Amino acid sequence: MRFLGTVLTEVNWYIEQFLISFTLFGASADRCIQNIYRQLRQETGTPKKYPGVLASLLMLDKLSIEDIKASITELMAGGVDTVKKNC
């Protein structure tokens, strides 16, 4: 029974770390979106170079900001997961 308690404690720790990471990813994605959106609003005329994927998605206005934020969060989490598996 002691073994099961130890396993559950460890699983709870991993779940907690996962939730903390997702919260941080979401906050980071939100900050990036806000910064780029602010830059786009300040620019006048057409951009001289390709503004990037995030700026393009915001300019097209076909996805909600929440959908874009969710996609960024998933990509960031997937990138971390991929790096961890290869180490």
Per-residue pLDDT of the chain in tens (87 residues, 90 and over written 9)? 566 667 678 878 888 888 887 788 778 888 888 888 888 778 777 667 777 887 888 888 888 888 888 888 777 777 655 555 555
Phi, psi of 37 (to 5 degrees): -60, -40
Is the whole model's pTM more than 0.85, yes or no? no
CA distances from 52 to 10, 13, 40, 55 (A): 41, 37, 11, 6
Phi, psi of 22 (to 5 degrees): -65, -35
Phi, psi of 46 (to 5 degrees): -90, 145
